[in-house]
């Protein structure tokens, strides 16, 4: 993977990195992808179901619950807004988008 | 120890990021099996009103607005939570050298790492600064530092312990678990923190994995795997002694084959960065945590994330973005998910014939500080024996098994899904508890 590819991935991930870091990541990724690439092409003898063997429909399933029992409105509002880097009243403040 | 005594003792190792002053509310928390016990928590577990930074600059000033479910349970059981422990940033590492708040050192040798990512929790228990600690284990982050620091570390079955209030790394792998001095204490702390939780839909009920097999003292050893390259001679020698010890305790040792287990680490280093890149997308400098100003809102993101995340976090997020990107998704992520199922099924088959699987916890004793920081792949290989249990969701425990020079070694027992009971029986017998 070359430096430009790394810079493009960093852009997709919304992370600012410098040329030097991109250069060193590109050689590290070469080693890491070489190693993890072992899993490619190791084909399984049969298509595998989503569930683990012996627990089809039990081990892996969607867990749903009724949309009930909310906490008291406003209970966490102040605690959560306190954590925001910028706020205006009960809103989190961001720069103009449009 | 008083908070001040802990602070003084911790000057050498830097296991704690913060030692809490006595809680005025303590008396109101509850009383139970942990009354009078001091427990430290890893810095990625939320404790209302206290900082939780996950070892990252991006959460430098984040204060937990609520308690993690495990913290609620600790309080109800009467525990005194003494502080938050150092960790690799977002649990990404095997040495606790990736923390934004300095390196933690191994209490047995200050020139060596305590392991990671829960190195602070392991070190705090090892040096007696607390009775017990909680950590999190995504690919070995409880068991590997437990081995390096000579304490007991347990990763429960996936879904056994609620992760509500745990700052996520890789959600299909993460589990919270105990660090203790003895297997009996690990069992006590495990029993406090386990249980299905409405706030974490991945938690399982007690009945999720009914016991299929009666415990009959049969241990399997994946021989080819434990004799693979790169295992230190001291570890091999200790492992032989451990085998003999189990035989002398009346255990039958059987060699077993798990043909795809050797792909566990490669599988892990696809799935984990993929999930991490997704989980860590939430840190944007808008809702909470560190914020770095740019000229517009998108540049705010780039600058906040570029400066707020450390080098290993940036590396894994970018790697995860790659394996999930169009054109590589099936090749990497798809292959890794298929391999995960294959490995899991091999383990499930194996546990029809054996009660436990035994391996060393780590291929070497604790390594030197700085030894692997410039070679990420060498660092990743420190988790070779611990990662398979995360891939397959199995419960797994590291138990002290001796020393080489002054450095502790650990062995790892892994059981079938939901069979923590087998780990406790064999672990207690092994340590003579």
Domain ranges of chain B: 1-433
- Assess whether pLDDT exceeds 60 at residue B427: yes
Do B323 and B333 meet the contact criterion of CB atoms below 8 Å apart? yes
B285 contacts chain A (CB < 8 A): yes
Structure tokens at B89: 């940033």
Is A29 a domain residue? yes
SS3 labels along chain A: CCHHHHHHHHHHCCCCCCHHHHHHHHHHHHHHHHHHHHHCCCCCCCCCCCCCCCCCCCCCCCCCCCCCCCCCCCCCHHHHHCCCCCEECCEECCCCCC
The active-site residue out of B42, B105, B155, B194 is: B42
Query: What H or E segment, with its residue span, contains residue B154?
Result: strand B152-155
Do B339 and B267 meet the contact criterion of CB atoms below 8 Å apart? yes
Is A92 a domain residue? no
Choose the weakest-confidence range: B49-58, B141-150, B197-206, B414-423.
B197-206
Do B154 and B184 meet the contact criterion of CB atoms below 8 Å apart? no
What is the band of B210 on the pLDDT scale with cuts at 50, 70, 90? confident
Length in residues, chain A? 98
**Closest chain A residue by Cα to residue B288:** A84
Strand partners, B109: B106
pLDDT at residue B42 in the model: 98
Is A27 a domain residue? yes
- Assess whether pLDDT exceeds 90 at residue B208: no
Residue B21 has what DSSP assignment? P
Structure tokens at B432: 């003579």
Residues B311-334 pLDDT 10s: 999 999 999 999 999 888 888 998
A98 contacts chain B (CB < 8 A): no
Contact A32 B376 (CB under 8 A): yes
Please list the helix, strand and coil fractions of chain B in percent, rounded to the nearest 5, in that order.
40, 20, 45
**Nearest 5°: CA angle at B219, between B218 and B222?**
140
- What distance lies between CA B387 and its chain's CA centroid? 10
User: Which position has the token pair 């590997």?
Assistant: B144
Name which of A13, A33, A85 is nearest B291 (Cβ-Cβ): A85
From chain A, pick out residues whose CB is under 8 angstroms from the CB of B305: 13-16
| A and B: number of Cβ contacts within 8 A | 142
Do A6 and B318 meet the contact criterion of CB atoms below 8 Å apart? yes
Q: Which fold has domain B1-433?
A: Amidase signature (AS) enzymes (3.90.1300)
Task: Tell me which residue range forms the domain holding A27.
Answer: 3-39
Residues B229-266 pLDDT 10s: 889 999 999 999 999 999 999 999 999 999 999 999 99
Name which of A6, A52, A63 is nearest B345 (Cβ-Cβ): A52
Percent of chain B with pLDDT over 90: 90
Residues B334-360 pLDDT 10s: 889 889 988 998 999 999 999 999 999
What is the band of A57 on the pLDDT scale with cuts at 50, 70, 90? very low
Is A22 a domain residue? yes
Residues B399, B425: Cα–Cα separation, whole Å: 12
Q: What is the CA radius of gyration of chain A?
A: 24
- What distance lies between CA B272 and its chain's CA centroid? 14
Q: How many domains does chain A have?
A: 1
**Average pLDDT of chain B?**
96
Do B418 and B166 meet the contact criterion of CB atoms below 8 Å apart? no
B277 contacts chain A (CB < 8 A): yes
- Assess whether pLDDT exceeds 80 at residue A50: no
Residues 6+ apart with CB under 8 A from B27: none
Distance from CA of B220 to the nearest CA of A (A): 20
Residues B25-65 pLDDT 10s: 787 888 999 999 999 999 999 999 999 999 999 999 999 99
Assess whether the previous peptide bond of A16 is cis (omega < 30° from 0).
Answer: no
Do B410 and B244 meet the contact criterion of CB atoms below 8 Å apart? no
Structure tokens at B169: 């790394």
Do B193 and B160 meet the contact criterion of CB atoms below 8 Å apart? no
Query: What H or E segment, with its residue span, contains residue B39?
Result: strand B38-42
Check if B42 is active-site: yes
CA nearest B150: which of B175, B176, B115, B117? B115
User: Which position has the token pair 């577990």?
Assistant: B45
Q: Is the dihedral of CA B218, B222, B223, B227 positive or negative?
A: negative
pLDDT at residue B188 in the model: 98
Residues B352, B375: Cα–Cα separation, whole Å: 39
Residues B411, B401: Cα–Cα separation, whole Å: 6
């Amino acid at each position: 993977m070359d430096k430009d590819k790394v810079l493009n991935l960093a852009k997709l991930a919304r992370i600012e990195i410098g040329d030097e870091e991109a250069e060193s990541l590109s050689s590290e990724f070469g080693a890491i992808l070489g190693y993890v690439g072992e899993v490619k092409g190791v084909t399984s003898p049969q298509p595998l179901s989503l569930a683990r063997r012996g627990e089809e429909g039990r081990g892996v399933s969607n867990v749903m619950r009724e949309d009930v029992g909310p906490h008291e409105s406003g209970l966490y509002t102040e605690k959560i807004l306190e954590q925001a880097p910028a706020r205006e009243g009960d809103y989190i403040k961001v720069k103009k988008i449009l | 120890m008083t908070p001040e005594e802990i602070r003084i003792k911790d000057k050498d190792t830097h296991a704690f990021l913060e030692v809490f002053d006595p809680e005025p509310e303590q008396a109101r928390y509850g009383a139970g099996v942990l009354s009078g016990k001091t427990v430290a928590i890893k810095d990625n577990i939320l404790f209302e009103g206290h900082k939780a930074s996950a070892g990252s600059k991006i959460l430098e000033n984040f204060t937990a607005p609520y308690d993690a479910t495990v913290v609620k349970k600790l309080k109800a059981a009467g525990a005194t939570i003494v502080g938050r422990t150092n960790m690799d940033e977002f649990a990404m590492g095997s040495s606790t050298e990736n923390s934004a708040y300095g390196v933690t050192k191994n209490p047995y040798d200050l020139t060596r790492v305590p392991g990671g990512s829960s190195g602070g929790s392991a070190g705090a228990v090892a040096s007696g600064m607390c009775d017990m600690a909680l950590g999190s284990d995504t690919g070995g982050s409880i068991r590997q530092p437990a081995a390096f620091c000579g304490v007991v570390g347990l990763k429960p079955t996936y879904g056994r312990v609620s992760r509500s209030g745990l700052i996520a790394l890789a959600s299909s792998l993460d589990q919270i678990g105990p660090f203790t001095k003895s297997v009996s204490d690990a069992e006590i702390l495990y029993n406090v923190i386990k249980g299905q939780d409405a706030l974490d839909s991945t938690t399982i009920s007690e009945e999720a994995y009914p016991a299929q097999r009666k415990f009959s003292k049969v241990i399997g050893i994946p021989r080819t795997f434990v004799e693979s390259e790169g295992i230190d001679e001291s570890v091999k020698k200790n492992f032989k002694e451990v085998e003999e010890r189990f035989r002398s305790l009346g255990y039958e040792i059987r060699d077993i084959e798990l043909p795809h287990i050797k792909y566990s680490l490669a599988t892990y280093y696809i799935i984990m960065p993929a999930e991490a890149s997704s989980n860590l997308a939430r840190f944007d400098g808008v809702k909470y945590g560190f914020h770095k100003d740019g000229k517009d809102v998108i540049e705010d993101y780039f600058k906040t994330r570029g400066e707020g995340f450390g080098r290993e976090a940036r590396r894994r997020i970018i790697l995860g973005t790659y394996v999930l990107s169009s054109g590589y998704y099936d090749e990497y992520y798809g292959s890794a998910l298929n391999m995960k199922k294959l490995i899991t099924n091999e383990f499930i088959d194996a546990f029809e014939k054996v009660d436990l699987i035994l391996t060393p916890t780590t291929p070497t004793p604790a390594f030197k500080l700085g030894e692997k920081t410039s070679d990420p792949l060498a660092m990743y290989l420190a988790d070779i024996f611990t990662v398979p249990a995360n891939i397959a969701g199995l419960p797994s425990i590291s138990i002290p098994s001796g020393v080489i020079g002054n450095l502790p070694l650990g062995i790892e027992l892994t059981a079938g899904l939901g069979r923590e009971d087998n780990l406790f029986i064999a672990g207690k017998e092994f340590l003579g508890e």
